[in-house]
Amino acid sequence: MPSNAEPENPAPLPSGIHAGAMMHAGEGPAGPAVRSPISEADITVAPLDFEGAIRSLRSTGVVLLRGAVGRGVIEQVRQATVRAFERLPQVAPTGGPAAKELMRLSMIGPGLTDGFSELTEMARRVVECGVGKPIVELYLGGRLIFDTSTLRFRSHRPSRTLSYVPLHQDAAFTAQDRSWINFWVPLSPCGEVAPGLEIYPLPEPKFFPHVDDPSPGGYPMGFIRDEALASYPHPLAPVEPIFEPGDLLLFDGFCPHRTIERPGMTQTRYSFEFRYSSENSQGPRADGPRQERRTARAQP
Ligand SMILES: O=C(O)CCC(=O)C(=O)O
């Protein structure tokens, strides 16, 4: 039977994980964020701390790797993404309903024939070149699957609220019975000058109910009501990182997250996200290692 367990002797430390995550625990839409000193929830990775990255994923479902991808590569992808978004109004109307929906939501993804394959190849280079992939490989175990159906490029213009993704867990949208790790890649500075991402490290994995009634003009997907977070048995400390190009955020299917905009964010954010699963990482709607942790904790 395939195992999700980490190898006992992790691979040697790769270079490229930098210290110094700048976290801004701000006020979330639900009210003031809880500022908690839980060290496990501080998703900073020490320099070259490969094991620390795995530990952080295991204990909170999240890890932020500073400077994990070369800035030159990221800049190439940013430029190609900006060009693709500029072309979108011309190509989407002839691209069928899927392409029109992508344009409505300021997204580029499967369903757009024009330009998506070029961006896919660039995204593949980004996720395969840095330290992220070996970390996820060790974490999930087994050969990783590059599935382009999980790739989305986003452009968030301040106040263009339709592109704002509400609070959700990726596990709610996982069609297959597989584990996933989201590779969230900022292509431009965000979280301070441009809309960012609010994330909830969870010291214990929990699935929150998603309601399916988006407001008219809101992002068309199920989401977690803020009130539902009250059922969580530990203090929640959402974080809003200030991201720089080259940073890489990895999070599991349980991690609640949403787009966030605050006053003073006046620039457009470009980013992409991609989800890795592994051949061996079968798990009920979320990732195996975290499921094991939940099961272990539930036992007396
Ligand atoms: O980029 C965003 O603001 C939202 C991303 C997201 O919801 C996701 O990666 O699942």
CATH number at residue 243: 2.60.120.620
Q: Does the Cβ of 150 fall within 6 Å of ligand 1?
A: no
Closest CA to 229 of 295, 167, 297: 167
Q: What is the crossing angle of helices 50-60 and 288-298, to 10°? A: 60
The domain tally of the chain equals 1
Which two three-digit tokens encode residue 32?
A: 């003031």
How far apart are alpha carbons 106 and 164 in whole angstroms? 9
pLDDT at 110 over 80: yes
Assigned domain for 181 exists: yes
250 inside domain = yes
Instruction: Give me the domain span that covers residue 171.
Output: 45-298
With 90 as the cut, is the pLDDT of residue 160 above it? no
Tell me, yes or no, whether 32 lies in a domain.
no
Cβ–ligand 1 distance for 184 under 6 Å, the answer yes
Q: Does 216 fall in a domain? A: yes
Q: In this predicted structure, which of 138-147, 240-249, 264-273, 285-294 has the lowest mean pLDDT?
A: 285-294
Q: Is residue 96 part of a domain?
A: yes
User: Does ligand 1 have an atom closer than 6 angstroms to the CB of 278?
Assistant: no
Q: Is residue 17 part of a domain?
A: no
Residue 129 included in any domain: yes
Q: Is the CB of 131 under 6 A from ligand 1?
A: no
In this prediction the pTM is 0.81
Task: State if residue 252 touches ligand 1 by the CB under 6 angstroms criterion.
Answer: no
Q: What is the pLDDT of residue 22?
A: 33
pLDDT at 98: 81
In a domain, 294, yes or no: yes
pLDDT of residue 92: 77
Q: Whose CA is nearest to atom 1 of ligand 1?
A: 259
176 exposed, middle or buried (CB, 10 Å; 0-12, 13-18, 19+)? exposed
pLDDT tens, position by position, 216-259: 667 888 899 999 999 999 999 999 999 999 999 999 988 999 99
CA of residue 300 to ligand 1 center, whole Å: 36
pLDDT above 70: residue 127 = yes
